[in-house]
Amino acid sequence: MYGQEQYARWGYYLFHYPYTAQSDANFHVYTRQGVEADVVEHCSGDKSYEGAESSSEYEFSDVEDEVGKRLSQMVSIPHVPRINGEIPSFDEATSDHQRLIDRLQMYDLVECKVQGDGNCQFRALSDQLYQSPEHHEFVRQQVVDQLESHPEIYKEYVPMAYREYLKKLSKWGEWGDHVTLQAAADSYGVKIFVMTSFKDTCYIEIQPRILKSRRVIFLSFWAEVHYNSIYPKGDSR
């Protein structure tokens, strides 16, 4: 649980930045000297989904292929799963944000901003999976179902009572973390690549336990503050 002071700091970030906060088993971290790009102001238009099973059957798109090519030169390093860390100070958050901007610019990528309401990780996943951030509640439920169905896979990474963790995550506005990203990858059977603002970690690759689709999910992560969906610069969506 976050204390009152942390929530106050979080409110400060939301006021000064149009963003939200946030957060591995089969994770790989990519490191490279790097340094963001113009930001896409609005995400894709609302498009309905036909269920989680159909999302895993989507074709590997040209957009995903293009982003993958731009990031394919990095070398992976094993990384341990974790829940969210502490919210950074204002100065640290500002520095981290600029680092993320520089890295996205380096790879000619842009962010599709999603709302900063505590659901940003699930909104960003929804935008990638269903071309709209509005199905975040459905994505959250898929993730919670995955966590609930396979506690033996995830509970060792959760430093609290697992049932309490699931109860919290089921609530609207509860932040996702690296454990929920692994559960999302496992549930949908897709790889998730995350461009981060960490000083020593440029890029994280999350592998599903069973690969069900050639689809790849691309997200940006302003460490402990916000997730967005990312695309190649110039993409029309």
Would 237 be classed as within a structural domain?
no
Give the pLDDT score at 195.
Answer: 93
Give me the catalytic one of 120, 135, 136, 178.
120
Give the pLDDT score at 23.
Answer: 36
Q: What is the DSSP letter of 235?
A: -
Give the pLDDT score at 80.
Answer: 54
Would 25 be classed as within a structural domain?
yes
Would 88 be classed as within a structural domain?
yes
Higher pLDDT, 41 or 119: 119
Contact 97, 225 (CB under 8 A): yes
Instruction: Classify each residue of 138-172 as buried b or exposed e, where b means 16 or more C-beta atoms within 10 Å of its C-beta.
Output: bbbebbbebbeeeeebbbebbeeeeeebbeebeee
Q: What is the pLDDT of residues 180-205, one digit of tens each?
A: 999 999 999 999 999 999 888 888 99
The sign one gets for the Cα dihedral 97, 61, 184, 30 is negative
Number of domains in the chain: 1
Give the pLDDT score at 73.
Answer: 58
117 included as an active-site residue = yes
Report CA Rg, the chain: 16
pLDDT above 50 (res 6): no
Q: What is the pLDDT of residues 56-83, one digit of tens each?
A: 444 446 656 666 665 665 555 444 555 6
pLDDT above 80 (res 214): yes
pLDDT above 70 (res 106): yes
Would 23 be classed as within a structural domain?
yes
Report the CATH number that the domain containing residue 25 is assigned in CATH: 3.90.70.80
Give the pLDDT score at 236.
Answer: 45
Q: What is the pLDDT of residues 113-131, one digit of tens each?
A: 999 999 999 999 999 999 9
pLDDT above 60 (res 34): no
Provide the domain limits for residue 91.
4-232
Would 95 be classed as within a structural domain?
yes
**59: exposed, middle or buried (C-beta count within 10 Å: 0-12, 13-18, 19+)?**
exposed
120 included as an active-site residue = yes
Give the pLDDT score at 70.
Answer: 59
